[in-house]
Chains A and B, each alone.
Chain A
Amino acid sequence: MRFAVIQFGGSNCDYDVHYVISEIFGVDCDLLWYKDGLPRNYDAIIIPGGFSYGDYLRAGAIAARTPVMTEIIEHARVGRLVLGICNGAQILAESGLVPGIFTINRYPKFICRWVNLRVENADTPFTRAYSEGQVIRIPIAHKEGRYVAPEDTLKTLEATGRVSFRFCTPGGDLLPDANPNGSANHITGVLNSQGNVMAMMPHPERASEEVLGSSDGKGIIASIIRHVEEKG
C-alpha cells in the first residue's frame, strides 16, 4: 500500500499529512512535487491544505488546471482514491472531480477554530472507521470554505449519500450557529458519484493525536487504509 501527497507551490499542510500517514500509521507515503507528475500508481492520493498559487483568481482554481491534475483525474477514473483537504478540497471542486464550489465564507474573513462534524455516511472509503451520526471534533482554517452547488446538484448529493460531513453542534444538531461559513445544507464533506473521491474543508491531520486536542481525524486515514487492505 502506498499513499502520495501532492505538493503545490503554497501547500503548507503537506508535511503534516505525510507525518500522519508515515509516522502515526506506518504506511509508505511519497511527497510529490506537482511538476514531477505521478511516477507510479498509488492506492490513495491526498491533496493537502495551503494556499496554492496564493489563492489567486479563486482558491484552488489555478492548481486545478495543472498537468498533474490530469493524471489525478485519470487515477480517480480507474477507481483509485483521492482525498482533498481544505485547499485540496477547493482544487478538487475546481477540477470538477467533485461538484460545486467552496467559495468565500458568509462572513468574509478567515476562520481558524475547532468545529463539530456529523458523519452523514459511514459507508465510504473515507469514513468507514466512523459510525453514521457520530459527531467528531476537527479544526477548520479557511476563508473560502462555504459550499455552494446548484439546487438540483444538492438534491442529488443528498439523495445518493454523497454528503460525508456536515457542520453541527456538539450534540449533532444542525443549528445555524453551528455552520461557521454558511455552507449549503451545512455540507463540508462531499463525494464524487463513484464514491472514490472526497473533498473536505476541515483538517483531519490537525486532529490525529490526543496531544493536539483530538484524534478524531485519524479515522479518515484509518478508513482509507482499511478500504485498500480489504480491496486487496
Chain B
Amino acid sequence: MKFLVKITISLKEGMLDPEATAIRHALANLGFETEELRSAKVFFIRLDAESEGAARELATGMCERLLANPVIHSYEIEVLR
C-alpha cells in the first residue's frame, strides 16, 4: 500500500536554536510580538509498505539512521494516508 508519511524533526527541549532566535528578532522588527518561536524541519515521504504500522516503522528507521541526530533532535511521525 502507498502511504504518505510526515516526519517532523525538532530540537530537543532546552537546546539552543540560534536561527529561531534571529527569526524571532526579525519578526519583532516587523512589529510582530511573539512569546516563543521554535523551528523544525519537515519531510513528506511517499513510500510503499504492508500496513500503516510498517510505514511508521520504516519512518522510524529513517529518523534513527539519518534524518535526526539523537544528540540534539527529537522526531514525530504522522502517517497521513
- Residues from chain A with a CB closer than 8 A to the CB of B72 are 101, 103, 148
Interface size class for chain A? 20 to 34
B18 engages A65 (CB within 8 Å)? no
CB distance from A112 to the nearest CB of B (A): 17
Judge whether B66 is part of the interface by a CB distance below 8 angstroms: yes
Query: A65: which of B19, B22, B65, B71 is its contact (CB, 8 Å)?
Result: B65
Q: Are A108 and B69 in contact (CB under 8 A)?
A: no
In the complex the two chains form, what is the Cα distance from A58 to B22 in whole Å?
19
The distance in angstroms between the C-alpha atoms of A172 and B36, with both chains bound, is: 38
Q: In the bound complex, how far is the Cα of B66 from the Cα of A94, in angstroms?
A: 9
Q: Count CB-based A-B contacts (< 8 Å).
A: 31
Main secondary structure on A side of the interface with B: loop
Kindly state the separation between the CA atoms of A222 and B81 in the bound complex, as whole angstroms: 58
Query: Within 8 Å CB of A136, what residues of B?
Result: none
Q: Are A65 and B69 in contact (CB under 8 A)?
A: no
Beta-carbon nearest neighbor of A106 in chain B: B18
**B16 contacts A106, CB within 8 Å?**
yes
Q: How far is the CB of B22 from chain A (nearest CB, A)?
A: 6
- CB-CB under 8 A from A182, the residues of chain B are 16
Q: Which residues of B contact A110 (CB under 8 A)?
A: none
Q: Specify the chain B residue showing the minimal Cβ separation from A108.
A: B18
- Docked pose: A104 CA to B69 CA in angstroms: 13
Q: Which of B18, B22, B69 contacts A94 (CB 8 A)?
A: B69
Interface residues of B in 20-49 (CB under 8 A from A): 22
Kindly supply a per-residue 1/0 record for chain A positions 146-165, scoring 1 wherever the CB is within 8 Å of any chain B CB and 0 otherwise. Answer: 10111000000000000000
Is B67 an interface residue, CB under 8 A from the partner?
Answer: yes
Q: Which residues of B contact A103 (CB under 8 A)?
A: 72
Chain B residue contacts of A101, Cβ below 8 A:
69, 71-72
Given A101-B72, A105-B18, A107-B18, A57:B67 Cβ within 8 A: yes
Q: How far is the CB of A114 from chain B (nearest CB, A)?
A: 23
Q: How far is the CA of A150 from the CA of B73 in the complex (A)?
A: 12
B19: which A residues are within 8 A, CB to CB? 104, 108
Q: Which residues of B contact A108 (CB under 8 A)?
A: 18-19, 22
Interface centre among A58, A65, A105, A150 (most CB of B within 10 A): A58
> Known contacts A65-B65, A148-B72; can you find 9 more A-B pairs with CB under 8 A?
A57-B67, A62-B66, A100-B71, A101-B72, A104-B19, A105-B18, A108-B18, A108-B19, A149-B71
Which A residues have a C-beta under 8 Å from some C-beta of B?
Answer: 57-58, 61-62, 65, 94, 99-101, 103-108, 146, 148-150, 182
